[in-house]
Amino acid sequence: MRALVLILAAVVLLPFIVRPAIASEIWIFAIFGLGLNLLLGYTGLLSFGQSTFFGSAAYVAGYLLKHYAIGVFAALGIGVAVGAISALLVGYLCVQRSGLYFIMLTFALNQLFYFIAYQWTTVTGGEDGMPGVPRPAMLGIDFRDPVAYYIFVSVLFLLSLWLMKRIVDSPLGKILQGIRENEVRAEAVGYHVPRFKLLAFVIGGAFSGLAGVLYAMLFGIVPLEAIGFVTSGNVVFATLIGGSGSLYGPIIGSFVFIWLSESMSVVWARWPLLLGVAFIVVVLFFRGGVVEAWDRIWRFSKRTT
Amino acid sequence: MALLETHDLSKAFGALTAVNAVSLRVEAGTLHSIIGPNGAGKTTLFNLLTGTFPPSAGRIVFDGSDITGTPAHRIAHLGLARSFQRTNVFPAFSLLDNVWLAAFACSKSWRGLLWRRADRYPEATAQARAALADVGLGEKADQPAREISHGEQRQLELAIALAAAPRVLLLDEPAAGLSPEETRRMVALVRALKGRYTIVLIEHKMDIIMNVSDRISVMHFGSLIAEGTPEEIQRNAEVRRAYLGGVAA
C-alpha cells in the first residue's frame, strides 16, 4: 500500500522535476524491467537478450505506424503480440538449457536479431535507425504534446504494474519462484518446468514489447541500439541496481538508471563510470539492490531511535 | 491386488548396471520396504519409478496401466509422490508454501493460474495445512524452510509428498541423518501413515524396517536377491551374506 502511494506520487511529481520526455522514458524502461524481473527475480533466469523483444516490437509497430498509419491501440496490441511471439521463439530454444548455456543462448539469439535489423536496411534503416515514427492522435487527444503522452505512458505503466502484481501473487508467481528455489523438486511435485519457464518468457516478452512500442513513439525513431545487446544489458543492470528480489526493484532501478544517464551525460562524458561504481557497490554490499539498502537503513534508524 | 509393479526393470549407466531385471509387486495398502547395502541400486530404482530417467529395459505398471517412460512432472499427477534421500525443499519458502506448491500441482483445476491470488485456493491451502499437521509441523507453517532443524526438514520432505494426496508414497530414507530421538519420531510418523497410503520405503536402519514393514525386498548389486515378510528376511542366509560382505556366514 505504501509502495503504491509512493509510486502514484512519483507519477504525478516526476514531470515537474524532469522533462516529460525523460519522465516518460523512466516509466517505459520500468515496464521493460518489470518484464525482465519476472524472469530474473522470480524465476531465477538471467536473460541477456531482452532487447530482442523490445526491439522487434518497436520495429514492427513503428513500421506499421509509419507506413500504414495504424492507430495507437493497434500499435500497442501489435507490439505486445510481437514481443510475446518473439519471446516464444527465443524462449523455446533457451529453456531447455540451463546456467551459462542459457545465458549465452539468449545473448546469441539477441545478436542474431540485431544483425537482421542491421542488414535489412530497406525496412529498419540499418545503422541510421528507422525515423519518422508518428504519435497518432486518439479520441481527440494530441499525443504529440509531451505531457499528454506522458500521462498516456503513466497510465500504461500503472496498468502494467497492476498486471504484474496480479501475476506474481497468482499460483503462477509461486510456481516460478518454486522453480527458482528448487527446479528438481518443482518437477517432482508435478510442474513441467520448461513449459513454465517458457510462459515466463512469453509474459516478459509481452511487457518488453509494450515498452518497445512506447519507446518508438516517444522518440519518433527506432534506433538500431533498441535491439542491441547494450539495451539488454542496461535493463539487467537497472533491475539489479533497483533490486531483483522485489516487484518494485526494476522501477527504482529504471529511475536511477535513466535519471543518472540523462542528467550526468550532459555534465560528464564518463558518466557510465558512476553506474559501474553503483553496480559494484550493489554486488558487494547490497545484493538486493536499492530496495535492500533502503530496508536496512530504515531498520537501522528504527533501532537507533 | 498389486498397485505398483515392475517387470524386469533395468537401468545401465555405461558399463554399470545399477538396476538389473528387477521385478517387484507392491500390494495396495501395504508398506513394502526395499533394503540393501549402499550402492545396491535402491535410489536408482526410485528414480526409475518416478520418471527422473527412463529405464534401459523393462516395464512399470501402476494400477493396471503401463507408465514406463512417463516424465517426472506427470508422475505426481498419476498419484505417485516421493520424498528425497537428501532434503530437497524450497528453502526461501515458508513451510506452508512448500507444501502448498505440491497440493496445488495435483489439485483438480488450475483455473485462475495467472490472475487469482494464490491464497484464494481454500482447497489447496486446507490440504497443505493438513499435510503439515500430519507430520507435526502445523505450528511452524509460517517459518521459512531454511530456518528449521534438519529433523524438521525431513518431516517437511514427507509433508510435501503427502500434500499431493498420493495413492503411493515412495519414501527414500526418511530417517537419513536423524538423531535417535528424531528417528523414533519419524518411525512413529511412518507407522501412522501406514494403512492410509500404499508405501514403498527405502531404509538403511534395520530396526525401522523390521518394525514397520509388511514385506521386504532385498537388493544387492542392482538385483533383487530375496523377498518376504520381515521374519523370512531375518532368517534368509543370502541376505545375511550380502550385509556381512562376501564372507560365507
Q: What is the ipTM of this complex?
A: 0.89
pLDDT of residue A281: 85
On whether residue A233 sits in a domain, the answer given is no
Query: Quick one: what percent of chain B has pLDDT higher than 90?
Result: 69
Pick from A169, A177, A186: CB nearest B117: A169
pLDDT per 10-residue tile (average), chain A, 305 residues: 87 89 94 96 94 97 93 95 97 91 95 95 89 86 88 96 96 96 94 96 97 96 93 93 90 90 81 83 83 85 78
Cβ burial, residue A94 (10 Å; 0-12/13-18/19+): buried
Q: What are phi and psi of B62, to 5 degrees?
A: -120, 120
Indicate the pLDDT class of residue B245, thresholds 50, 70 and 90: low
On whether residue A270 sits in a domain, the answer given is no
Question: Which sign, positive or negative, has the C-alpha torsion B204, B210, B212, B215?
Answer: positive
More confident site: A171 or B226:
A171
**Residue spans per domain, chain B:** 91-164
Number of folded domains that form chain A: 1
CB contact under 8 A, A192 and B160: no
Q: What are phi and psi of A79, to 5 degrees?
A: -60, -45
Cα A62 to Cα A127, A215, A216, B213: the distances in Å are: 16, 10, 6, 70
Find the mean pLDDT for residues B89-104: 95
On whether residue A200 sits in a domain, the answer given is yes
In the predicted model, is pLDDT for residue B249 greater than 50?
Answer: no
On whether residue A156 sits in a domain, the answer given is yes
> Scanning every residue of chain A, which has its alpha carbon at the shortest distance from the alpha carbon of B104?
A171
CB contact under 8 A, B73 and A190: yes
The CA-based angle A102-A179-B42, given to 5 degrees, is 100
pLDDT of residue A280: 86
On whether residue A298 sits in a domain, the answer given is no
Q: Please indicate if any CB of chain B lies within 8 Å of the CB of A189.
A: yes
CB contact under 8 A, B160 and A185: yes
Find the mean pLDDT for residues B101-116: 89
> Scanning every residue of chain B, which has its alpha carbon at the shortest distance from the alpha carbon of A178?
B90
- Best residue in B100, B101, B110 to probe A by mutation, most A CBs within 10 Å? B101
CA B3 to CA B5: how far, in whole Å?
7
The cell 492522435 sits on which residue? A137
Tell me which DSSP letter residue B155 carries. H
Q: What are phi and psi of B84, to 5 degrees?
A: -105, 150
Q: Please indicate if any CB of chain B lies within 8 Å of the CB of A140.
A: no
On whether residue A29 sits in a domain, the answer given is yes
On whether residue A105 sits in a domain, the answer given is yes
pLDDT of residue B248: 45
pLDDT of residue A113: 96
Pick from A169, A184, A192: CB nearest B118: A169
pLDDT of residue B208: 81
DSSP-derived pairing of the beta strands B80-83 and B168-172: parallel
DSSP conformation letters of chain A: -HHHHHHHHHHHHHHHHS-HHHHHHHHHHHHHHHHHHIIIIII----S-THHHHHHHHHHHHHHHHHH---HHHHHHHHHHHHHHHHHHHHHHHTTS-HHHHHHHHHHHHHHHHHHHHH-HHHH-GGG-EE------BTTB-TTSHHHHHHHHHHHHHHHHHHHHHHHHSHHHHHHHHHHH-HHHHHHTT--HHHHHHHHHHHHHHHHHHHHHHHHHHHTEE-GGGGSHHHHHHHHHHHHHH-TTSTTHHHHHHHHHHHHHHHHHHH-TTTHHHHHHHHHHHHHH-TTHHHHHHHHHHHHHHHH-
Owning domain of residue A216: 2-228
Contacts of A190 in chain B (CB under 8 A): 73-77, 102, 105-106, 164
CA B187 to CA B207: how far, in whole Å?
10
On whether residue A192 sits in a domain, the answer given is yes
- Best residue in A189, A192, A195, A246 to probe B by mutation, most B CBs within 10 Å? A189
